[in-house]
Amino acid sequence: MSSLATELPAQIERVRRLQDEFKALRGMPNVIVEPQIAMMEHDIAAAITASASGDVIGMLRAYESLKGYE
């Protein structure tokens, strides 16, 4: 069984990699990725802030938000 302490950093890293994939699409015709990149960055920052402050509820919320990115 995994813990939030290991799963949240894994989700942060996964979404960062996904963010890089979105950034690679910049400049392609008819592709708008800036809103998605900004939302990912917001959720990553929220996860880091919650982790740093020990806010377990915030960490759970951030984990669920990050899990939603595909």
pLDDT score for 2: 84
Query: Rounded to whole angstroms, how far apart are CA atoms 27 and 40?
Result: 19
Higher-confidence residue: 2 or 29? 29
Closest C-alpha to 56, from 1, 3, 2: 3
> What Cα–Cα distance (Å) separates residue 5 from each residue in 1, 44, 66?
12, 15, 14
Q: Which residues contact 12 (CB under 8 A, 6 or more apart)?
A: 44, 47, 48, 66
Q: pLDDT tens across 26-65, in order?
A: 989 999 999 999 999 999 999 999 999 999 999 999 999 9
pLDDT score for 40: 98
Q: pLDDT tens across 14-26, in order?
A: 999 999 999 999 9
At 10, is the secondary structure helix, strand, or coil? helix
pLDDT score for 46: 98
pTM, two decimals, is 0.91
